[in-house]
Structure 1
Amino acid sequence: MNFERLVKTISNTHGHFQQQAARAVNVSLTLRNWLIGFYIVEFELHGEDRSVYGDKLFDELAKRLKSIKGVDRRSLYRFKDFYLLYPQISNYITDNQSALFLPASSTYQIMGSATPQKEDFQKVGSVTPQSQNKKQVPVEKLITCLSYTHIEQLLQIKDLLKRTFYEIACIKGTWSVKELKRQINSLYYERSGLSTKPEMLSQSTQQKAEKASSSDIVKSVYAFEFLGLKVKNAVEESDLETALLDHLQDFMLEMGHGFCLEARQKKILIGDEYFFIDLVFYHRILKCHVLVELKVEDFNHYNIGQLNTYVNYYKAHVMQADDNPTVGILLVTNKNTALVEFATTGMDNKLFVSKYLLELPKKELLEAFITNELQKWNS
């Protein structure tokens, strides 16, 4: 064995066991969430004191379980949906976990569980909206090939055939969660149904799709919360972005303009989805929150729209009576250039905006900072 062979062998061994670890974490997280949903439904149907809680069940559960990261009111509803939409997972649990989590009591009866099909999938593209095929994805593939983050996206699809279509496409193409979400939003299912050659559309789509890696599961927000680890590292997409945020955080605090760091990767819930704000400051002179978003990509309208959404969220849910309106700063990088945009939603008073701009870092200064950091990174 030469040195290059040694390096390759160690790298391959690491990759193999990293994949095993990621798969084990994901399977455990997925099964835990399904079982929580099962327990909730079981309690709603047969709980001795269920009438005491009624509509307040999820609120009370969330309060009592607040020590468990990632288990809140919203996620409890999701777990219930997960159980109701995927009853066939009971087959996997009873096959692999014996009766440890599913007591043999007569009240613990799994609803409508279907025996998983042993056959492999049909080709993606042949399961189209015109098809009446009710074949399910084998339950073991659902559990081992899709992360719970994937499943969260699929739970929003109530139509069984449509959901199965995306399950198959996602597993076949090893899509990242981002890619699955993009394909759902692009109406891939509907376009496949309208296409005269769905196989050709499938081939084209899969060639362009972003693939998932084992590290995606390891860095999943849900996995980090499940393991009781800090979420910060799970939502920073690259070493470059992490380094830029580290330096940007220090840069803003050292400017002497009244910035106080309140949070990094601040987790907020908007509608049915979690978002993470890169940096949240409170400005003691302006008496307002300052939200900073860094995007290691070209500027697009989605970026500024997202930041405006965060600003509006703070206005509706965080801002106190004596606070001034929240301001957002968007930093966009493109190779060795930088672009800075300010989000000032709801600031109709031009004088008020001018006051903000006197206290906040000048646009040119922020652009120079980002450009300088990029040059150091690329040198």
Structure 2
Amino acid sequence: MAKQNVQQPATPLPTGYAELLDSLKSRIRQAQVRAALSVNRELVLLYWHIGRDILQRQIQEGWGARVIDRLAQDLGREFPEMKGVSPRNLKYMRAFAEAWTDEHIVQEVLAQITWYHNITLLEKVKDPADRLWYVQQTIEHGWSRNVLVHQIESGLYQRQGKAITNFDRTLTSPQSDLARSLLKDPYVFDFLSLRPEAQEHDLERALLHHLREFLLELGKGFAFVGEQYRLEVGGEEFYIDLLFYHLRLRCYVVIELKIGEFKPEYAGKVNFYLSAVDDLLRHPEDRPSIGLILCKSQNRLVVEYALRDMNKPMGVATYRLTGALPADMQASLPSIEELEKELGYDA
């Protein structure tokens, strides 16, 4: 008769083992991250030095562009396992060194982002000040290369901090400066495609359907609290279109969506909402709530007059939808309801 394997009972773990295991896992992960960052830093510095040497030789001794092809061949023969010495990448190194002449900036700033991030910035951003701003934002927000490309193509640098606000009168420094820098104009909702006859609730529903993209466009720190958020004041019910909480500002953010042009009465409505939120939701540690009115268009002078005497902090900005399809073509597209009916889903 064959012997049966009898499973031995597991040895009980000593007290504190789980905590030790978690601590070691965390320490190993941190070391892995530091090692990866160190490798990236050395790689970026190496590429900058190679590019600088090539550039100096070309300037001082008049070497032509063909020498880069020869260098790629010789370096590739000497270091066959190294993939970054192609003619194309050597030309990027030369352009990198030409764009950034200060080695200190390369060491302290540019080495914090990947080589592919740096290439993207070289290709897509021509102004050095703009380029450095995108580098700093990438470091602060941890943007992937794809997110960086999106932010560049949407013109984030030109839009950041451009909303019309009354923060200088209604918030104390430095919160007023931080709040102003977080709002932009216009907001780019290129992930939406609304029909011309769309209403506010259609815009709201579409933004919530693409909440991840909406949060990315709002910027880092916005936490979604609710839509059509109910407030009861004096026995009456009122509903905020979108309510957020900002982690850096430490305050609630009320967003009012409008499908058309800004009107002065919108500011009064948001002023009322902010008073209610401060009384009903705000904790003692929270800072004053702020409001953001998003409109399809605005008259700047009208907005400035509307905000001038408001005692609650708020801003007004426009939004831009995708321009991929002409208006007449968008108008000819079937609605969701029409598609459902055509496909037999109307029940």
Q: TM-score, normalised by structure 2?
A: 0.41
Larger radius of gyration: 2
Q: Which has the higher contact order (CA 8 A, sep 6+)?
A: 2
Q: TM-score, normalised by structure 1?
A: 0.38
